[in-house]
Amino acid sequence: MIEAKNLCITINQSDILKSLNFQVAEGEIYALLGGNGAGKSTTLKTFLGFLKPTTGQAMINGRAVKDDVKAVRQHTAYLPESATLYQHLTARENIHYFLSLANISKTDSEVDQAFDRVALQPKARDRHMSTYSKGMRQKTAIALALLREAPIFFLDEPTSGLDPVAIDEFNQLVSELAANGSTILMVTHDVYGACQVANRIGLLREGELVGEFSAPAGQQIETELVHTAFTQKDMA
Ligand SMILES: Nc1ncnc2c1ncn2[C@@H]1O[C@H](COP(=O)(O)OP(=O)(O)OP(=O)(O)O)[C@@H](O)[C@H]1O
């Protein structure tokens, strides 16, 4: 579903991603874990079609992203660290607006079903987004993705700034999405958050994947691997 194949990104003669290889299967939650500057955002930007690989490929459903960015975007949902929805519109108005941009029409009752799935309180649905917490904004963004029937999710630091209850709710929602067949790539520097929700974790250091392991929910990540991932080469 999602695949990095010898993916290299070089910017101004600096190698940002160095022959990255990983795969995320349908129904899987993969966390790309790394410190500041490891290359997490660069990886996401490449899969979103904002950056072209210098060499190698970022593939979605067997197709190179750079060859058909528009088609790929139709099948993907991107949740940036702060969901970019209109503050002066209600959650429901945002949903209808963004669906109309994609030429999708849904009834209010269908929108409510999506809000039910993400557990957005009924009384909040017709309130301006400016009154929303980050957790509520994320729920709205996921409801939108569900209505767009996007099967692939890219999540950027999804739990940063969320309180523990909102983190639990978010993790549960993401797990449900995966259980229903969605494919999820998240980037984060939150080791324990990644362990709680991901099926597999890739450790990224200075643009290189230095470790990859299965992480059933709640499993503790090996301390040594974390140390490796978060320590710069010249400091190790
Ligand atoms: N346009 C650019 N020009 C030059 N260097 C860049 C550019 N974009 C990213 N980099 C460099 O690439 C490296 C990886 O950056 P990236 O933003 O992907 O890291 P990150 O893992 O997302 O970090 P953070 O957790 O701090 O957001 C950094 O050293 C960064 O300075």
Backbone angles phi, psi at 159, to 5 degrees: -105, 5
DSSP code of residue 90 = B
Task: For ligand 1, say whether the CB of 40 is within 6 Å of any of its atoms.
Answer: yes
Nearest-CA residue for ligand 1 atom 18 is: 39
In a domain, 82, yes or no: no
Q: What is the pLDDT of residues 22-81, one digit of tens each?
A: 999 999 999 999 999 999 999 999 999 999 999 999 999 999 999 988 888 888 988 888
Q: What percent of the chain has pLDDT over 70?
A: 92
On whether both 145 and 155 belong to a single domain, the answer is no
pTM: 0.89
Q: How many CA atoms lie within 13 A of 70 on its CB side?
A: 1
Give CA–CA dist 68/86, Å, rounded: 28
- 61 and 168 housed in the same domain: yes
Q: Is residue 171 part of a domain?
A: yes
Confidence label for 125 from pLDDT (cuts 50, 70 and 90): very high
64 and 97 inside one domain: no
Q: Is there a single domain that holds both residue 172 and residue 230?
A: yes
Domain residues for 106?
Answer: 87-150
Encode pLDDT of 79-113 as tens digits.
888 777 899 999 999 999 999 998 899 999 999 99
Residues 109 and 140 in one domain: yes
Distance between Cα 199 and ligand 1 center (Å):
26
pLDDT at 145: 87
| Residue 178: per-residue pLDDT | 94
Count: domains in the chain: 2
Q: Which pLDDT belongs to residue 235?
A: 56
Closest ligand 1 atom to residue 189 Cα is 25
Task: Write the residue with the smallest CA distance to atom 30 of ligand 1.
Answer: 37
What is residue 161's predicted lDDT score, i.e. its pLDDT? 79
Write the pLDDT tens digit of every residue in 175-229. Answer: 999 999 999 999 998 888 888 899 999 999 999 999 888 876 555 666 666 676 6
Q: Is 34 a pocket residue for ligand 1 (Cβ < 6 Å)?
A: yes
Sheet of 14-24: strand order equals 14-24, 2-11, 55-60, 63-64
Nearest to 222 by CA among 197, 201, 204: 201
The one-character DSSP state at 200 is E
Predicted pLDDT of residue 153: 93
- Kindly state whether residues 132 and 155 are assigned to the same domain: no
The CA 39 to ligand 1 mean position distance, Å, reads 6
Whether residue 174 sits in one domain with residue 236: yes
147-160: pLDDT as tens digits: 998 899 999 988 88
Q: Whose alpha carbon is nearest atom 12 of ligand 1?
A: 16
User: Does one domain contain both 165 and 58?
Assistant: yes
Ligand 1 test: best mutation among 7, 10, 12, 41, most atoms within 8 Å of CB?
41
Residues 61 and 176 in one domain: yes
12 Cβ inside 6 Å of ligand 1: yes
Query: Domain check: are 52 and 8 in the same one?
Result: yes
217 and 131 together in one domain:
no
- Judged by DSSP in three states, 67 sits in helix
